Amino acid sequence: MTACAPVPLNPTAAATSLTSGWIDATATLDPATTPVYEGDAPMKFDFLKDMRRGDGFTLSVYSMGAHSGTHIDAPMHFVRDGASIERVPLEALIGSARVIEIPEQVQSIDATELNRHQWKGAERVLFRTRSSVRGWMSSPTFHRDFAYIAPDAAQQLADAGVKLVGIDYISAEQFGAPAPRTHQILLGKGIPIVEGLSLANVAAGDYQLIVLPIKVGGHEGAPARAVLRPLATGQSAQN
């Protein structure tokens, strides 16, 4: 594994802060900086027309996989008759969320690790892991040893009625897992999974979350824009 310098926590960084306290938790889609899951479709961005080359207007073309950058997995991804991305309820995608800080040395977020943190009562749970510390969502290199959600933790989250689960790398599942149990457990309960969140400049705590995928009909996932705003003192991550 190539050593990476830790990314400093800076919630006021210009690249991620929006007006009215909103923080952009979305990885910028850029073939030069965005990791692509091993075996997935590469990203290709080009200009059909470009005013910088003398054209009268600028016109772009994008080619990429549905699970590029910050994206949402709909139940259809691993559930045969599951909902496609345009059918994921907005209620799951907008509301309070709790960002949980997972220590950098932890790769498997299993039930034991999950229960070391105050997650119960949160309606949406987002994990900030080694991937944020090491800046992996802004590195084109795909890292196999990203932190993942183990099936037993996924089961606890599902049983508790969590509405949405998110993580800061491009999969919530262990790389090379013998079966996609984490996806099957969460998506099987209709719980959308947000992958590839950009949480390098997000501290642990309770937030208001808006994460909206591109409205593509009949498919299992789509890139999304995710923003967070800290909840006021005294508010909780439970609606």
Catalytic residues: 77
Query: Which DSSP category does 138 fall into?
Result: G
Cα 28–chain centre separation: 12
Answer for the pair 9, 135: CB distance below 8 angstroms, yes or no.
Answer: no
Burial label, 217 (beta-carbon count in 10 A; 0-12, 13-18, 19+): exposed
DSSP H or E segment with residue 188: helix 181-188
In sequence order, the 6+-apart residues with CB closer than 8 A to the CB of 223 are 29, 64, 66, 68, 69, 70, 71, 213, 214
